Structure 1
Amino acid sequence: MNSTINNVVLVVDDSPESLGMLNVALNTAGYTALVALNGVQALAIAEKVEPDIVLMDAIMPELDGFETCKQFKHLFPAVPVIFMTGLTDSEDVVKGFEAGGVDYVTKPISTDEVLARIKAHLNTAKLALSAQSALDHAGKNVFCVDNKGKLAWATPQVYELIEKVFPAENTPWQQIEPQIESWLATENRANLELSADESALQVIYERKQDELHLLRLAKAKTQRTPKHLQDALPITKREAEVLYWLSHAKTNWEISQILEMSPRTVNKHLEQIFKKLAVDNRTAAAAISIRVLETD
């Protein structure tokens, strides 16, 4: 839904009189109205400004409302379409629903009825969007808190991670809440570190939803060292140190300064590294090193 302007209603009707009447009624009710005289124009407008709901005339020349609705729903499947029709035949009503419409009103239009239908379907669409958001995060390490850091809800994965990191705590959330509250009170959105013993978690800010903050929990990355390279690869301690700095894009001369050895010695270590890793250049060796260092 559009959060920077009022709910946008796209009205599609080949009758200027109907457009004028609905435009006034919608603006008076606090909506932002966009108008189109035909289906092609409506699709062009929607591609520039996505509406929150559409009022669609069923019978229009060239591209009728049913076909326009099909094309529109292909582009914006979540946006509700209400048909406006003078037809009372049930087959045409069914045709509107089959095209993707969610409701219909009959002409001559009652503005009060149209406004009531719009309000109802916008509320339904918002609930559907909220449900979709929850489904999108299902199975992920996300949770919601209020401004005080108090937990509103969390996925099972979040509870598992918290219990692993704070196994000795009977009420870990009481310990975490003040940290989150202080973090939310600042404008700094750098990740919040939650540490216990040798384990650590990061709280990552996702977005604000109504009066709640949607947050994500992630394991803090372990600081990798040359020892990780030595343990993972068939190389010596000194070769691991050379490879470590190679993966940080250091030149031979820079590596020699850091490790306090001559550039020639660095070169000899690199020759052994290339041989042991079965590669023939610095880039390939660095790629292997980076893969190891970035592995959780």
Structure 2
Amino acid sequence: MTTRRDLVLVIDDTPETLGMLTDALETAGLTALVASSGQAALETLRHVTPDLILLDAMMPGLDGFETCRALKALPALSPIPVIFMTGLSDTAHVVRGLEAGGVDYVTKPIVIDELLARIRVHLGNAREALRTRAALDAAGGFLLAADEAGGLLWCTPQAEQRLADALPGFAITSFRLPAGLEMQAGERTLNFSLVGRVGPGERLYRLTETGGGQEEAFLQTRFALSAREAEVLLWVARGKPNKDISDILGISPRTVNKHLEQVFIKLGVENRASAAALTVGELARRG
């Protein structure tokens, strides 16, 4: 069985540079794909997803900075690491490339051994981030990743659905985390709790929500519940199983079950179906 070779897209308007880099990449065991302009690269990326991109900063027409911003705006392409190639030594241009979404840069004339070393590092980082993301998607949970500025990079399907339900017009490419990591969405309160880092420049957050407090407060008073018991009961009434409630509230399924044991006693019922029916009826009478 043939091992898949990593695919590197080289974007440069100089034929000599394209030829030199193609030879070096192929010799190093990588597959090279070339584009001679930013516009041609974006067209190529409609059909092929490379593992890494080498991008010339200064090109006529759509320059490297604009090209990088355009591809980073597309969710399917945004995880691809981009290494800028530039003859510019001005720090402002280096910063501009990183702000556009690049992960690294090399200066021309290019030192091949140095470039290949950087490529291997960033390919390894990208693979690790991809494995982490795939594992999170498979395991489920309301998780999302954002960059240092709070821009949303990706989220699990569950988190994406919750944000879409709560925020009309939600889009991954334009959403930013609120400054206080909490926001109101109608009667819902969305909370973003930092979990840790999952890759270079990526922070992982858990998304939880509450119903705005009014219904919980009513149930707390009506049945002499604790605040957490009222939250658990409200989500039971909304048809959520213990696993979903634990994800929503950021507590363990075992803790959810412990709260429910107390809720059943206080409501004088024997199971969650009876508790849900009683709760729905009380909330309906409340108006």
Question: TM-score, normalized by length of structure 1?
Answer: 0.45
